[in-house]
């Protein structure tokens, strides 16, 4: 009987020691968190949670452990602890957002987007960073409709507006919405004239438009010259001169647009070549 009593007493003592160690580890983990020593914090937290015994801790601690694990690149553990925090109703929108970040690091883009969208659904305020992350993830998934929506919302929220508007334009281009693509770039060039990427993209649009007008002019001129070669017209005929004037009008319109391109991006070689070609036939 005495031996049994001693054994039970030893067990209670062991539980008490484990609980004391767990509390100490949690305190040390919190200090490590303050010092941004996330791997150390996670390992201390995780070990403490495995040795709690009957000790009760605030379930909000799961959020802290998940955050430490995320920062320490312990992705699976971070997801597990954030799920526990969600189950406990702790910082739920932020948990979903951080899960999206983790899934992104794991290149699991479908789950990343689902997590970001869940966070957006539950968040009272739509943070710009969250919107931009959702937009980038949707773009990676080639879900360009959603990408346009989220990039636009990030832009409207004023979060990295230059990047948001440029990427919105790129997503519109992927959807073959050429006019909306152009209008987004025009807006961007007007608001952010120093942004070289926006300027170069819009310059490219103007080059394509100028090239089409140039080709129209060339087609008119070639057709008129063919009639001369066939003997149907002479170069001093009014009809021939009218066709030449028509071609020159197309060239003038092309030159005007190409000059806009060069103004935006002086390094655009295609714009320069087209202008040279137009000047050679004036």
Provide the pLDDT for residue 6: 36
Residue 245 lies in a domain: yes
Provide the pLDDT for residue 19: 55
Q: Are 41 and 32 within 8 A, CB to CB?
A: yes
Residue 141 lies in a domain: no
Residue 29 lies in a domain: no
The angle subtended at Cα 49 by Cα 44 and Cα 6, nearest 5°, is: 110
Burial class (CB in 10 A: 0-12, 13-18, 19+), 201: buried
Distances (CA, A) of 123 to 64, 90, 92: 19, 13, 9
Provide the pLDDT for residue 192: 98
Q: Which domain holds residue 271?
A: 195-282
d(CA 272, CA 21): 74
Positions in the chain whose pLDDT score sits under 50: 1-18
* Number of separate domains in the chain: 1
Residue 254 lies in a domain: yes
Sign of dihedral through CA atoms 191, 193, 196, 200? positive
Residue 255 lies in a domain: yes
Residue 220 lies in a domain: yes
Provide the pLDDT for residue 20: 58
Distances (CA, A) of 165 to 202, 228, 279, 282: 13, 51, 35, 39
Residue 58 lies in a domain: no
Residue 273 lies in a domain: yes
């Amino acid at each position: 009987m005495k031996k049994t009593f001693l054994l039970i007493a030893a067990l209670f003592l062991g539980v008490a020691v484990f609980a004391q160690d767990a509390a100490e580890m949690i305190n040390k983990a919190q200090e490590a968190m303050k010092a941004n020593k996330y791997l150390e914090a996670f390992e201390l937290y995780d070990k403490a949670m495995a040795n709690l015994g009957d000790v009760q801790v605030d379930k909000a601690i799961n959020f802290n452990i998940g955050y430490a694990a995320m920062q320490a690149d312990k992705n699976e553990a971070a997801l597990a602890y954030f799920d526990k925090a969600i189950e406990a109703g702790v910082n739920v929108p932020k948990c979903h957002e951080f899960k999206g970040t983790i899934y992104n690091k794991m290149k699991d883009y479908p789950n990343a987007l689902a997590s970001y969208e869940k966070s957006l659904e539950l968040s009272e305020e739509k943070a710009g960073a969250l919107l931009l992350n959702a937009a980038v993830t949707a773009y990676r998934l080639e879900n360009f409709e959603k990408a346009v929506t989220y990039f636009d919302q990030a832009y409207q929220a004023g979060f990295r507006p230059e990047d948001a508007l440029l990427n919105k334009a790129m997503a519109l281009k992927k959807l073959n919405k050429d006019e909306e693509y152009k209008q987004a770039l025009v807006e961007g060039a007007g608001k952010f004239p120093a942004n070289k990427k926006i300027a170069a993209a819009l310059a490219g649009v103007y080059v394509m438009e100028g090239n089409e007008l140039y080709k129209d002019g060339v087609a008119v001129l070639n057709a008129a010259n063919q009639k001369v070669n066939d003997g149907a017209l002479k170069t001093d005929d009014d009809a021939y001169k009218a066709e030449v004037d028509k071609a020159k009008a197309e060239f003038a319109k092309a030159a005007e647009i190409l000059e806009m391109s060069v103004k935006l991006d002086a390094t655009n070689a295609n714009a320069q070549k087209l202008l040279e070609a137009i000047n050679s036939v004036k």
